[in-house]
Structure 1
């Protein structure tokens, strides 16, 4: 959306907040010397830091984005959630308390992320599994009835429902003839992303998406998975590839999920594996925003090195200059990015 003035922007979001039932606040703004606005970031009045949404992958710039307070993940090894915590989580979930709010209360009670024995993803996986146990056999029956009607209308419609040993619904995949035909022509590069939304039972929507000759996104078959772990990803990847009945994509693009990365390497050994650069760069404010030079030079220099380095040698030299100039030798996030640079830096993707 494009607004003619800051007043028009604020007016629009004030109407939006009234419809959705929350307040907004200006969390960040920047002006030229003549007081004209270069950008403004709006956020939920009850939230924390807002996420900067990158609207143009070819040349990112700050844009307005509403957020409802974010709880940042802390990377740890995979652990079990204790029984006492499970009971508290179940009570909160069945009472309708949102996942972010429930997790935030645990962080507060523990006195910080570092005092928790599990991270947000462990918590999400537990709740998702609890949801699908509550879904029960009736949910699987509803899926079967719907898929049967679709099969009656289109004999090329395909679906597969995965059940556990207790007869509980675990994962679902479906696709039609149009998806298979589209993959035949436009399946050389495929994106896979589980961050879109979850249904009422906490099952993540997991679509395979391609791009056609009109630069339009096309659906190549979606799934619902009950948790984002090795077993679920393996089932979905194999099911999708078997239905397409052709070779694996030349390139597959995902976010930086470690479990997903390992399974893609296993199921698609001959595909070039990429990280979504948009997912990476939207973390810049969180990872580097506290640096004193972030708004003045650091951010623009980093983006220039990422997009404008036309040789690997230039990228390597520019990265070294960036790290040295801004004293970022101990930044763990940048270290991990550099170690995996062949997965996301544009100069390695020619």
Structure 2
């Protein structure tokens, strides 16, 4: 038989046997029968790198493992991919993080140092990508075929599902509710083919693309005009590894002046959202000497993580010449609290009473349903007791009255 094979060659059903080294004294064989057309062979040819990836991913789906791309080398002259390596998702080991000692619930170790791989390189004479190395054996149990569709490399949002996700987002349907509805339509979460995180990532990627080709140009022109009209206008953007905009912050001269006079106490609010694009609109707010709302800075955020909040708070300080507020009020967001402790360690961090009451209504509202309501019960603890001892005494009385001792 010719050594040069293609994916359309012989189609015969043969068993694939993977040796799993569970321990030094125990070897387990996992046999999954698959078609030979899904089995990589040396010198097998592909038109593109993506075609090779999809082929190895289909093979992984049949055998029972997830794959990922380890590297892809490009030609410095043409920019085309010359060699690429696809590996099992359990290849290697996770790098130890110095912060793990402070983690209460560390993530489970999922990598096992698996050596299964497929490597391809571009053959100039043939104009094809050719498999030149293939390692078949794994050192971990395989996933049964009924569950492989939920592995990371197998999960996909189809075109029809993408349309439904976007329509739900544009209609203002919360992410969790939209995912639950689509799961039921598909016959359960095990049948939908993607997770809630995949849906969230899809929407974020789509929003970033829209910003890159649409709103980005408009915003950059606006910032350019404002900077020309007033040199005190401050703006900055954060880019990700693909040079796509993730976060934007700006403050005009009026905001900067107001902060200089009234910036001792600042409220950072991220509850404003545009329904159509679902982009969180963050605002640094305060009160002036007439008890009117004063804006100190505005932002559009696309990645609500600790790193993004740290960048945003650092940008705010840069706009305000490094002056940090004495007190800042936020919602009960763990990532936000972590970023504040890092960027503004001397600023007193308090929680907004509105968010506290909203969370209380959500989690324990049923306990006070037959009384005057949770607001009337909890408001006295927010506004009536200045002494700590009085607060603790009345709090214990409230717990006993509602028979929730040890539950709140």
Secondary structure in 2 aligned to 1:235? helix
Bigger shift: 264-273 or 128-137? 128-137
**Which residue of structure 1 lines up, in the alignment, with residue 341 of structure 2?**
265
Residue 274 in structure 1 maps to residue 350 in structure 2: yes
**Which residue of structure 2 lines up, in the alignment, with residue 146 of structure 1?**
222
Equivalent residue in structure 2 for 1:103, among 176, 199, 203: 176
Q: What runs of 5+ residues in structure 2 fail to find an aligned partner?
A: 1-104, 109-149
Residue 247 in structure 1 maps to residue 319 in structure 2: no
How has the CA–CA distance of structure 1 residues 204 and 155 changed in structure 2, closer, same or farther, with 3 Å as cutoff?
A: same
Alignment of 1:327-346 (within 5 A): 327-331=403-407, 334=408
Q: Aligned-pair distance for 1:288?
A: 2.6
Query: For 1:223-255, what per-residue CA distance to the aligned partner results, in whole angstroms no more than 9, with x for missing partners?
Result: 111121112111111011111004210000001
Equivalent residue in structure 1 for 2:396, among 320, 323, 343: 320
Contact 1:189 1:249 in 2 (8 A): yes
How has the CA–CA distance of structure 1 residues 259 and 96 changed in structure 2, closer, same or farther, with 3 Å as cutoff?
A: same
Q: Aligned-pair distance for 1:177?
A: 1.4
Distance 2:281 2:326 in 1: 23
Residue 155 in structure 1 maps to residue 228 in structure 2: no
How has the CA–CA distance of structure 1 residues 204 and 244 changed in structure 2, closer, same or farther, with 3 Å as cutoff?
A: same
How has the CA–CA distance of structure 1 residues 293 and 179 changed in structure 2, closer, same or farther, with 3 Å as cutoff?
A: closer
Contact 1:204 1:227 in 2 (8 A): no
Q: Which has the higher helix share?
A: 1
Distance 2:360 2:166 in 1: 35
Query: For 1:69-102, what per-residue CA distance to the aligned partner results, in whole angstroms no more than 9, with x for missing partners?
Result: xxxxxxx999999664755763323345535256
Contact 2:172 2:275 in 1 (8 A): no
Equivalent residue in structure 1 for 2:297, among 204, 221, 235: 221
Residue 286 in structure 1 maps to residue 362 in structure 2: yes
Secondary structure in 1 aligned to 2:281? strand
Contact 1:175 1:222 in 2 (8 A): yes
Distance 1:213 1:241 in 2: 22
Q: Aligned-pair distance for 1:142?
A: 2.5
Bigger shift: 301-310 or 154-163? 301-310
Equivalent residue in structure 2 for 1:91, among 163, 170, 174: 163
Contact 1:128 1:201 in 2 (8 A): no
Query: For 1:107-138, what per-residue CA distance to the aligned partner results, in whole angstroms no more than 9, with x for missing partners?
Result: 35668xxx989998996565234311343255
Distance 2:195 2:260 in 1: 40
**Which residue of structure 2 lines up, in the alignment, with residue 301 of structure 1?**
377
Contact 1:203 1:227 in 2 (8 A): no
**Which residue of structure 2 lines up, in the alignment, with residue 44 of structure 1?**
none
Q: Aligned-pair distance for 1:297?
A: 7.2
Equivalent residue in structure 2 for 1:212, among 288, 302, 309: 288
Secondary structure in 2 aligned to 1:289? helix
How has the CA–CA distance of structure 1 residues 313 and 89 changed in structure 2, closer, same or farther, with 3 Å as cutoff?
A: farther
**Which residue of structure 2 lines up, in the alignment, with residue 49 of structure 1?**
none
Distance 1:129 1:106 in 2: 17
**Which residue of structure 1 lines up, in the alignment, with residue 119 of structure 2?**
none
RMSD: 3.5
Distance 2:290 2:329 in 1: 20
Distance 1:77 1:85 in 2: 28
Secondary structure in 1 aligned to 2:366? coil
Equivalent residue in structure 1 for 2:212, among 136, 141, 145: 136
Contact 1:139 1:169 in 2 (8 A): no
Q: Which has the higher strand share?
A: 2
Contact 1:92 1:102 in 2 (8 A): no
Residue 188 in structure 1 maps to residue 264 in structure 2: yes
How has the CA–CA distance of structure 1 residues 310 and 119 changed in structure 2, closer, same or farther, with 3 Å as cutoff?
A: farther
Distance 1:186 1:273 in 2: 17
Aligned pairs, number: 254
Contact 2:212 2:245 in 1 (8 A): yes
Q: What runs of 5+ residues in structure 1 fail to find an aligned partner?
A: 1-75, 335-350
